[in-house]
Amino acid sequence: MGSEIFATSRERALQMLRRAPVLHLASAGLDGSPLGGAVDFVVHDGAVRIDAPGLAHAGRRAVLSAERTIAVLPDGSSTWVERVRLRGVLEADVPYVRMPLAALEGESRVGQELAPEARRAVLERLWRRGLPGDPAAIERARDARPPTRRPRSS
């Protein structure tokens, strides 16, 4: 998806996929015009299954993706996100279309590129800000690139 530093394990990518409320489908029509939009889905039997409206896409190459915001940094300079993407050919599985999970990729961008001291400073600012999702964002960032010391309590 991006730099190796942001790549997640396959297990983490599968967790991210299962947690997504919808997937975004991107494909092309027979004339090359873009097709896509948000689709409901279920992970079943080693594949993503999309309900009947997706049948128009069967046999076409497509990308299914989802993104979740982890945190907007206190200074507004960046947004930490997790993304999951699946590429392949949609297969007919009436009344659904399906895409096998073979090419599943996950990405977590939670400050791994920062130098250790800069990263710790960001985590401390998140801790001081104290919004409801900030403790989980701190733990996610620490999990993505250990070891990062816990932020100091004020």
* Shared domain check, 104 and 120: no
3 state SS of 124? helix
* Shared domain check, 47 and 20: yes
Strand 23-28 and strand 34-39: the pairing is antiparallel
**Predicted pLDDT of residue 65:** 97
* pTM higher than the cut 0.95: no
* Shared domain check, 24 and 97: yes
Rounded-to-integer distance, Cα 55 and Cα 38, Å: 14
* Shared domain check, 119 and 105: no
CATH (domain of 41): 2.30.110.10
Rounded-to-integer distance, Cα 97 and Cα 27, Å: 13
**Predicted pLDDT of residue 30:** 80
* Shared domain check, 122 and 98: no
Let me know: does 64 contact 24? Beta carbons within 8 Å: yes
Structural domains counted in the chain: 2
* Shared domain check, 70 and 32: yes
* Shared domain check, 38 and 97: yes
Sign of the CA dihedral running 139, 119, 16, 14: negative
Q: What is the DSSP letter of 12?
A: H
Q: Could you list the mean pLDDT of each consecutive 10-residue stretch along the chain, which spans 154 residues?
A: 83 95 90 88 94 72 95 94 95 89 95 91 95 95 71 60
* Shared domain check, 103 and 129: no
* Shared domain check, 118 and 102: no
Query: What residues make up the domain containing 142?
Result: 114-154
